[in-house]
Amino acid sequence: MQLPSLASALLYASACLLPSVAGDSTKHASQHKIAPKVFIVSMFEPEAAVWWGIPDFDLLAHNITVPGASPLFPDVHCTADHHICQLVTGEGEINAATTVASVVFSSLFDLTHTYFLIAGIAGINPEAGTLAGVALSRFAVQVALQYEIDLRELPANFSTSYFPQGATAPFQYPGDIYGTEVFEVNAALRGLAATMARKAELADSTLAKEYRQKYASEARYSAATAAPAVVECDVATSDVYYSGNLLSGAFDKIVDVWTNGTGRYCTTAQEDNATLEALVRATMHGKTDFARVIVMRTGSDFDRPPPGVPALQHLVYNDQGGYTPAVENLYRAGVEIVKGILDGWEETFAAGVKPSNYIGDIFGSLGGKPDYGTVQKRSTRGRFAKRHLAASLKQIQRNIIRHRLVPRHTRVQIIPRVILLRQLRRVLRVAHHFVEIQHRIKHPAAPDPRIHALPRLFPLRMRVRLDARVRGRRTERRDRRAVHRDAGGVDARDDLLVRDDEAVADVLLRGGGGRRDADVVDALVEDGVLHVGLGQHVAVDAAQRVRAEPVGEDAVAAGGLVEERDGGG
């Protein structure tokens, strides 16, 4: 979050120097990896400094420089026994993602059993909480990842300038999915964290008490007028530091739609989805455990003005009195969570808290099925293939591969299609009638490394169109198939090797006259040429042909081997 005043900015600049003169500073890995039990994630200096100089533990005993961390906050701070550590990401989504990724993938740490406590201040919805209140989230929603049209150019039936990408109006489910729109963390762990946080005596201020009363005239703001408390509700992420009834109301609805009515919009932050994406990716590689993530925010300011107060005055000029107690309550509530985890380590937390809900991102990257934005709902809301990704794959194909028949070893390409996005890592659809194969399938070849590394990023139901030059004439691959079914067992990880001097099918262009529709023939001069998109290749002898008929599909298991068998004629 941003600093509210010049005075705070000066405090920030001066306090940044503190870790450099306290404790032990290390710029290289120790002999053994550091394996903290709790890792506190702060976003900027005031959120971090509230944990320094406390009576409970000394986070500045060790200051470990991590390559890739924020240039403003290059060190991870740890207690003497390394049981508790802290990183400071820097503000905004880019800083958060870069710093967290640098730390979790660092060889300095073993974070496989570490609990991450994301602890920062935030704007707060007066319908759900109050100044200096503590909110623990199950969902984090990247609400500003949308189209936007200037308010002065909006259609008459639009109530907000934001509407989802791949959609045509506000408050629809997005048709284009990036993967960072919604994250869900361990609800059972959140419940335990909330119970522990409620042990804290929360700070407040006289000014905050006075400002809360400005909301008393409307019953829907009853939560705003209450004293600080611990609540369980969800966080919206946006690099834009927004305020006002229109934007806050619109993003409230977005949280509801994108979480399938499960999420409850409560706090506004600038980093959480970015931090969670880095943690999901780390979990995919066995570096962290996403079931051990806690998202905690404290209310430093209301996300919309009280009745009768202009939005600009509320955001820029009014001192709401929530900033100082919100920062203080990061420590007061947070330290109860930290102590609770350490005290209950052997009994509960070492083994982990089993999630009672789906956890992970919108893609289901960690396994399981998201309980928001069901596959059926996603598929009816629009396409998933991002236009620029499709264009980029086509460009790669145009630039790298010359499609022509050559008088030596060539390859015919088989393009599989993905079915359900959530099944992308398990099941693929293969357009198995692209190629007629009248000979023995000998063995599967090496898998496409991009399918191994980024299976969830390939677009849904995208076909790549390629051009081939056959006998000097240009042919375009259309949705065609050959009659033989031997290619049905091919998935996105397989190549089929064809015996030399075996005909694949009839001639592609009889007599060489005119242009006809046909399967593309990728005559690749070099073996091992870069596989393109979801495509794989079948090796055939030079100058072989394929027959063109409508495409069919079969579902096959990803990574399945092609068994040795003989094809019929």
Intervals of the chain under pLDDT 50? 1-22, 28-30, 374-569
Q: Cα–Cα distance between 486 and 488 in angstroms, integer?
A: 5
What is the structure's pLDDT at 445?
35
Helix (H) or strand (E) holding 470: strand 467-470
**DSSP-based three-state secondary structure for 278:** helix
Q: Cα–Cα distance between 26 and 411 in angstroms, integer?
A: 54
Tens digit of pLDDT for each residue in 407-460?
Answer: 223 333 333 333 333 333 333 333 333 333 322 233 333 333 433 344 344 333
Helix (H) or strand (E) holding 86: strand 84-88
Kindly report the pTM of this predicted structure. Answer: 0.66
What is the structure's pLDDT at 32?
86
Give the CA radius of gyration of the chain: 28
- Check the CA dihedral 263-265-267-270 and report its sign: positive
**DSSP-based three-state secondary structure for 513:** coil
3-state secondary structure 471-506: CCEEEEECCECCCCCHHHHCCCCCCEECCCCCCCCC
- Check the CA dihedral 496-499-500-506 and report its sign: negative
Q: Within its chain, how far is the Cα of 100 from the centroid?
A: 13
What is the structure's pLDDT at 409?
31
136 DSSP β-pair partners: 232, 296
- Check the CA dihedral 342-347-348-350 and report its sign: positive
3-state secondary structure 174-203: CCCCCCCCEEECCHHHHHHHHHHHCCCCCC
Tens digit of pLDDT for each residue in 322-355?
Answer: 999 999 999 999 999 999 999 999 999 999 999 9
Which option is the CATH number for 120-268+278-317+335-374: 3.40.1350, 3.30.450, 1.10.260, 3.40.50?
Answer: 3.40.50
Domain boundaries, the chain: 29-111, 120-268+278-317+335-374, 388-557
Q: Cα–Cα distance between 91 and 243 in angstroms, integer?
A: 18
What is the structure's pLDDT at 159?
92
Maximal CA-CA distance, the chain: 91
